[in-house]
């Protein structure tokens, strides 16, 4: 402008466009700067974790599998579960826009990076099912946007830090399966949006904070397997929103609060293995959504409440091992969805509760260790889906009903320690499904052994001891091909014990107490009484056993040689790998804890073996039986009560996996070799 003249005015529309352009340029520069920062952090994360599918990924990290970016190319989510990852993931703290970090079901070790607390937008942090150790970092309390925290199934220790009280937006806290100690902090009751609190299988102590019930949205509370004391706070049920309550295996005392009936959506109550007393409140019938109710192994008294019948969705009712008395209410027969009724170990009496047979979906009925009396109904299964019928240790009398043959799905039948008399019905041979056990011991049964028992080719355990059974052992029993445990002692059996592998492999005590019984495994020679037939059969079976022993020795030598070779090779590989890792400052990480492959060699045991129970046994030092150079043996108790040994190889790695098919074939062959000096493998699993 000329001197003395005012500068020209900028048009308002032009000024707005100029400011908008400058704003867009500024935003673009910020996005570029943020993108560059995220790119560096993602490259560091790739080096630290080395996900297999990131190795040949394009340069653009937003295109990597498991990565989500915003429109501004900021990383908002890294989700890499079940990838076998190990190493350092602290570089994730360099992603300021990160909202979701899911590294669950991997093999991560070491401490939880405290730097993750510097992520203000983080809403979900899932590091469950890894090998992380050390305390929960207090710095996580700075991640104020956190809503879902899952650190379960690791090896974390120490107390729950009070610094987490700043996370007012927490909706789910899952810290189960660790070694956490101390009390459950009271500040959890001050989280208005808390829906799920899962802290089971830790070493927590002290009372359950009474204020937890004041959280208006609390739906799931799972604190089982800790050392909690005190009573169950009645306030847990006051707001009526609770759906799942699991407090088993603690030291809780007091009574079951009457307010439990206020939770109309309550579906799962498991409060067994505590020290609860008093009667089960009748208000339980108001919780009409109830599906599971377990209160076993307490000191509850009184009778079984008839209002349970109003819980139409109830599928499992377990009141075992308490101090309950009286009879089973007839109204329980109205529970059309009931699948398991377990009331063993009480003082219940009366006759067999026939009304229960109206529950056509019933698969397990356990009345054992009570004082039930009278006869058993002929239609004892009544067309139901009964698989487990456990009536032992009562005062039932009369004969075993012929209708027992209609229990076409039965896996286990326990009638021991009653006052049953008469003969074993031939219809027992119709229960082809019997696998786990047939136990009729300690009764007053008489007459011969029905040859129809030989049709039970899937049965594993047979106990007919301490009765008055007479006659010879029928040769048809050789048809019980899956038999492992047999006990016919203390009867009136006579004659030669049939040449049958499971019989000869049994201890002599399994046939003792039968004055006129002879042959293996008893140390009683049949002599000329049974002529040359016994001797001829015995020589034939001895020749077969010799062949079996020779074959098994060759197989065992092959397997052992293979394992030794693989172990020596692996030892050399591990030493070389450890040396390299020591130079790089890396730590050796153990594989994750989930079953990858499994099989059962003996068909009749497929229903009895629970692989998850086998895996869990290997995590407990108390379950270890012995340890050798190549393996450690653990004791595992199946849900049915069967005890098995789990041999965990110390060199289960890629080398063994490479030869896995051959090893499994050899083990499967050994599973079908019968010899007293050979422990038969019954299955295999890899995790």
DSSP of 252-318, one letter per residue?
Answer: EES---GGGGG-TT--EEE--SS--EEEPPGGGGG-TT--EEE--SSEEEE---GGGGG-TT--EEE
Cα separation of 570 and 517, whole Å?
54
Q: Which domains, from first to last, does the chain contain?
A: 24-183 (3.80.10.10), 191-342 (3.80.10.10), 539-686 (3.30.200.20)
How many C-beta atoms lie closer than 10 Å to residue 244's C-beta? 18
Distance of CA 629 to the CA centre of its chain: 29
Quote the pLDDT of residue 563.
41
Quote the pLDDT of residue 663.
66
Quote the pLDDT of residue 599.
77
Quote the pLDDT of residue 645.
81
Quote the pLDDT of residue 511.
97
Angle at 434 between CA 393 and CA 313, to 5 degrees: 75
Cis peptide before 436 (omega within 30 of 0): no
List per-block mean pLDDT (blocks of 10 residues) for the chain, which spans 687 residues.
53 50 40 68 96 91 96 96 96 98 98 97 98 98 98 98 97 98 95 96 96 86 98 93 97 97 96 98 97 98 98 98 98 96 98 95 97 96 88 98 95 98 97 97 98 97 98 96 97 96 94 95 80 42 46 48 46 45 36 56 67 76 65 72 72 42 65 57 77
Contact 487, 510 (CB under 8 A): yes
C-alpha closest to that of 344 among 362, 369, 323, 327: 369
Quote the pLDDT of residue 233.
95
Quote the pLDDT of residue 91.
97
Phi, psi for 120 (deg, rounded to 5): -70, -20
C-alpha closest to that of 367 among 384, 379, 386: 386
Contact 371, 395 (CB under 8 A): yes
């Amino acid at each position: 402008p000329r001197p003395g003249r005012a500068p020209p005015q900028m048009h308002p529309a032009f000024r707005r466009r100029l400011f908008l352009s400058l704003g867009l340029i500024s935003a673009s520069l910020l996005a570029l700067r943020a993108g560059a920062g995220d790119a560096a952090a993602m490259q560091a994360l790739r080096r630290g974790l080395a996900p297999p599918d990131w190795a040949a990924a394009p340069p653009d990290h937003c295109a990597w599998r498991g990565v989500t970016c915003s429109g501004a190319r900021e990383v908002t989510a890294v989700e890499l579960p079940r990838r076998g990852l190990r190493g350092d993931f602290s570089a994730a703290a360099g992603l300021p826009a990160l909202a979701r970090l899911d590294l669950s079901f991997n093999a991560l070790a070491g401490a939880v990076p405290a730097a993750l607390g510097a992520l203000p937008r983080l809403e979900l942090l899932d590091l469950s099912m890894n090998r992380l150790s050390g305390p929960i970092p207090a710095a996580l309390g700075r991640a104020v946007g956190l809503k879902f925290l899952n650190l379960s199934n690791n090896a974390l220790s120490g107390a729950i830090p009070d610094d987490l009280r700043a996370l007012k937006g927490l909706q789910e806290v899952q810290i189960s399966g660790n070694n956490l100690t101390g009390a459950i902090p009271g500040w959890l009751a001050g989280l208005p949006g808390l829906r799920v609190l899962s802290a089971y299988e830790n070493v927590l102590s002290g009372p359950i904070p009474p204020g937890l019930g004041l959280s208006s949205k609390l739906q799931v509370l799972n604190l089982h397997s800790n050392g909690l004391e005190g009573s169950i706070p009645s306030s847990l049920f006051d707001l009526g929103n609770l759906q799942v309550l699991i407090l088993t295996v603690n030291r809780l005392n007091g009574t079951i609060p009457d307010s439990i009936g206020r939770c109309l959506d309550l579906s799962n109550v498991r409060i067994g293995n505590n020290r609860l007393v008093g009667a089960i409140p009748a208000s339980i019938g108001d919780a009409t959504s109830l599906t599971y109710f377990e209160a076993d192994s307490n000191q509850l008294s009184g009778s079984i409440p008839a209002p349970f019948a109003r819980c139409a969705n109830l599928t499992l009712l377990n009141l075992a091992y308490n101090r309950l008395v009286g009879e089973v209410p007839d109204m329980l027969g109205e529970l059309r969805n009931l699948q398991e009724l377990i009331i063993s170990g009480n003082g219940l009496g009366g006759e067999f509760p026939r009304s229960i047979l109206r529950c056509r979906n019933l698969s397990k009925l356990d009345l054992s260790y009570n004082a039930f009396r009278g006869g058993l109904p002929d239609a004892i299964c009544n067309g139901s889906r009964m698989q487990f019928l456990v009536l032992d240790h009562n005062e039932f009398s009369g004969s075993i009903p012929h209708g027992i043959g209609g229990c076409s799905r039965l896996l286990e039948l326990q009638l021991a320690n009653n006052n049953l008399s008469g003969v074993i019905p031939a219809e027992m041979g119709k229960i082809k499904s019997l696998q786990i056990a047939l136990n009729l011991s300690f009764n007053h049964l008489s007459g011969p052994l029905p040859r129809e028992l030989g049709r039970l080719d899937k049965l594993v355990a047979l106990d007919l001891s301490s009765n008055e059974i007479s006659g010879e052992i029928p040769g048809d029993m050789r048809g019980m091909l899956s038999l492992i445990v047999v006990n016919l002692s203390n009867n009136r059996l006579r004659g030669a014990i049939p040449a049958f592998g499971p019989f000869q492999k049994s201890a002599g005590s399994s046939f003792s107490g039968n004055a006129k019984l002879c042959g293996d495994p008893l140390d009683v020679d049949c002599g000329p009484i049974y002529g040359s037939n016994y001797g001829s059969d015995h020589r034939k079976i001895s020749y077969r056993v010799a062949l079996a022993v020779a074959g098994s020795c060759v197989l065992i030598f092959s397997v052992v040689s293979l394992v030794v070779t693989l172990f020596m090779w692996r030892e050399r590989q591990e030493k070389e790998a450890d040396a390299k890792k020591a130079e790089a400052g890396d730590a050796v990480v153990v594989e994750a804890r989930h079953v990858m492959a499994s099989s059962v060699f003996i068909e009749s045991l497929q229903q009895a073996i629970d692989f998850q129970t086998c895996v869990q046994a290997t995590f407990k030092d108390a379950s270890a039986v012995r340890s050798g150079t190549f393996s450690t043996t653990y004791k595992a108790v199946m849900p049915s009560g069967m005890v098995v040994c789990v041999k965990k190889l110390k060199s289960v790695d890629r080398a063994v996996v490479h030869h896995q098919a051959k090893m499994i074939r050899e083990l499967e062959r050994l599973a079908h070799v019968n010899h007293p000096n050979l422990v038969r493998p019954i299955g295999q699993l890899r995790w």
